[in-house]
Amino acid sequence: MALIQPARPEPEQPDEPGGRGRKLARYGVPVAVAGVAAATIGLVPALADAGDPSLPSVTAEQLLTKIAASQTRTVDGTVKVTTDLGLPDLSGGSALLGGLGTPGSGGSGDSPAAPQSQLTQLLTGSHQLHVAADGPDRQKISIIEPAAEYSLIRNGTQLWAYDSGSDQAYHATLPAPSQQHEGLGGAADGVPTTPQAAAEQVLKAADGTSRITVDGTARVAGRSAYELVVTPEHATDTTVGAIRIAVDSATGVPLKFTLTPKGGGKAVFDIGFTRVDFGTPAAGTFTFTPPKGVKVTEGSTPSRAASPAPQGAAPTVLGKGWDTIAVIDTSALNKGAGKGADGGFAGFGAQGKDKPARGSGDSGSGDVSALLNGFGSKVSGSFGTGTAVHTRLVNALLTDKGTLYVGAVTQSALVQAADAAK
Amino acid sequence: MRVWWSLGLLRSELVTVFRRWRTLALFGVLAGVPLLVGIAVRIETRNGGTVGGGPRGDNGPAFLEQVSNNGLFLTFASLAATLPFFLPMAIGVVAGDSVAGEAGGGTLRYLLVAPAGRTRLLVVKYASVLAFCVVATLVVALSGLIVGFALFPVGEVTTLSGTTIPLSAGMLRALLIALLVAGSLVGIAALGLFVSTVTDSGIAAMATTVGLLITVQIVDTIPQLHVVQPYLFPHYWLSFADILRDPVQWTGIAKNLGLQALYAAVFGSAAWARFTTRDVTA
């Protein structure tokens, strides 16, 4: 078969093969394109982050005053939350954590659009949030999921939620004068959804128990910020290594919050703005009309507004500062149909209602222990035996008698506490 | 004159691609997906139930829950269901066959005897594959639209953020989404074209392209490989859903289109380097 050489149709189109050199030169084009692209992708973020901004130096006290005196009450931005507790990633089917965080309040917790079943997914993996706020009464938080979104809108006493994944809505009426100082975005159901909410919780607790220093500057979401470092002091058992808060130099608003464990490694909790604008969001942002055909679940007054825990379920607190251990009597929690302990990490204390109850009807501790057995380990001490769940930050110990010890402390500290309580 | 000639070449190429039985069969399969999904949702929600078993309902493709409320969402659900495999597989078949099929069938040398120039022939081949991308996507979208309007109520569109937009705006967004989905296939089309210039067997080129697609899709789901995932061509495919947010989020869409353009540039130029320097023996 005769070789057909490439034709030469026009003189300006040199298509003829010119030996190996030309061949190599032509293959150089895709390689060069790929190389330039790789270099651009690698360099552009590096250039954007280049150099920490130089700001006038401040003391930690001045910076804390600045945070407290911050007058910024409006925000519109994108927040990235990354949580790495060392738990298995449940974000795909968050039924387990959803069940964990859902208190046995009946009714309202059943809706997939209820805040309790949605916000707990923030406890694993990485999530992108859209946050808008206009004063303490009007807030909107959207969890951006692939091809889906969960929006939580608060306008005065009206709380609306819409979950596009299930096409369902949730509505609740809050008691009129809710917490005045909620900050931007707030900590809905104990899960902080803005760096400011996280920083507020920590700085409140850090007073007098920590060393607070200013450690240079950083650039967060295109703004220059001071880096505030909170290190636990007088605490031997805590698993918290250090907390780093980037504070906007202009407004005093915390822009980024990073918690690293004492054991080192990746941050356990990292929440920061990737884009932020302190202007007033459009008024329409905070109005919600349930779309036609969408099922709306009416919630009872959500637990976030008032948290006097039911009788008997109130956690007892052992120790102080960073070594604090919460002690929860889970058998009492069951009787109280506990609404109290559904906030944040204390969500471990609430029973998972979807879990098959072990044994007889009074399933409170049965539920919890069935759950803990799933990814816990057996421990024993002079208190008897129990099940311990270990994460990179929070440890929990459930004794076979039904008492739950929980805290950001080492497992041995929990065992000691249980021994002492015997 | 040259432009005129190229257009004639493109037209004959398009006629060849779209009149093949294979192409028509692919369109038939693609059009059948919305029909299947629509009938399944219709049967399951007959008594006012919801789709999917679990409370979170995140096992099926995106947008499935909204279909029973608004037939327009069948278009989105069908595109979301076909984008991961069906559509790129069809593109892989057509792109893989484009040059290698001609070489295997012995017709490539006759094409090159004509005063077309190899570069221009390759551009025309790629253009016809891209045209197939657009038509294949529109087939899915239109089939979804017709089935959705026939089986379900249609009205104001609820965005993912829970706001409501009029149906006309929703239709406009649907068109935009169809174009974005077609644009998402630019990368694999270039990849298929490159593979097609490497071999003389059309079947081998198709199998390689589809195999690459499946491999890349699997790699994209392994969490431990998250470092390379932003560089894989299907990584931002679902970003078309951002059109349905309020406000629309453009970052993911821009990343997707940029990545597709990069794949088109790299594999398009690789195909050019290969095709203009090889000896055509068949």
Judge whether B276 is closer than 8 Å to chain A, CB to CB.
Answer: yes
> Which of A13, A22, A126, A166 to mutate: most B Cβ within 10 Å?
A166
Q: Coil, helix or strand for A297? A: strand
Cβ contacts (< 8 Å) between B2 and chain A: which residues? Answer: 10
Q: With CA atoms as reference, report the closest residue to B155 among A242, A292, A36, A148.
A: A292
Say which of A3, A13, A37 has its CB closest to residue B262: A37
Q: Mean pLDDT lowest for which of A59-63, A110-114, A216-220, B145-149?
A: A110-114
B164-177 pLDDT tens trace: 899 999 999 999 99
Average pLDDT over residues B199-219: 93
Helix (H) / strand (E) containing B248: none
Q: Mean pLDDT lowest for which of A83-87, B53-57, B149-153?
A: B53-57
**B255 to chain A: nearest residue by CA?**
A41
Average pLDDT over residues B196-202: 90
Return the CATH fold of A60-298: outer membrane lipoprotein receptor (LolB), chain A (2.50.20)
Burial class of A74 by CB neighbour count within 10 A (0 to 12, 13 to 18, 19+): middle
Q: Round the average pLDDT of chain B to a whole number and report it.
A: 88
Ordered by start, the domain boundaries in chain A are: 60-298, 316-421
Q: Which of residues 3-42 of B touch A (CB under 8 A)?
A: none
Distance from CA of B24 to the nearest CA of A (A): 30
**CA-based end-to-end distance of chain B:** 29
**A41 to chain B: nearest residue by CA?**
B231
Q: Mean pLDDT lowest for which of A366-375, B7-16, B149-158?
A: A366-375
Ordered by start, the domain boundaries in chain B are: 2-53+60-277
**A289 to chain B: nearest residue by CA?**
B163
A198-217 pLDDT tens trace: 888 788 777 777 888 888 88
Judge whether A381 is closer than 8 Å to chain B, CB to CB.
Answer: no
Distance from CA of B134 to the nearest CA of A (A): 22
Judge whether B266 is closer than 8 Å to chain A, CB to CB.
Answer: yes
Average pLDDT over residues B143-157: 92
List A397's β-bridge partners, or say none: A388, A405
User: Alpha-carbon distance A421 to B263, whole Å?
Assistant: 64
CA dihedral A137, A219, A79, B240 (to 10 degrees): 130
**A164 to chain B: nearest residue by CA?**
B160
Sign of the C-alpha dihedral, residues A100, A101, A106, A112? negative
Sign of the C-alpha dihedral, residues A367, A368, A371, A373? negative
Distance from CA of B279 to the nearest CA of A (A): 6
**Position B92: which residue type?**
G
Given pLDDT bands bounded at 50, 70 and 90, which one contains residue A181? very low
ipTM score assigned to the predicted complex = 0.81
List A381's β-bridge partners, or say none: A384
Distance from CA of A13 to the nearest CA of B (A): 8
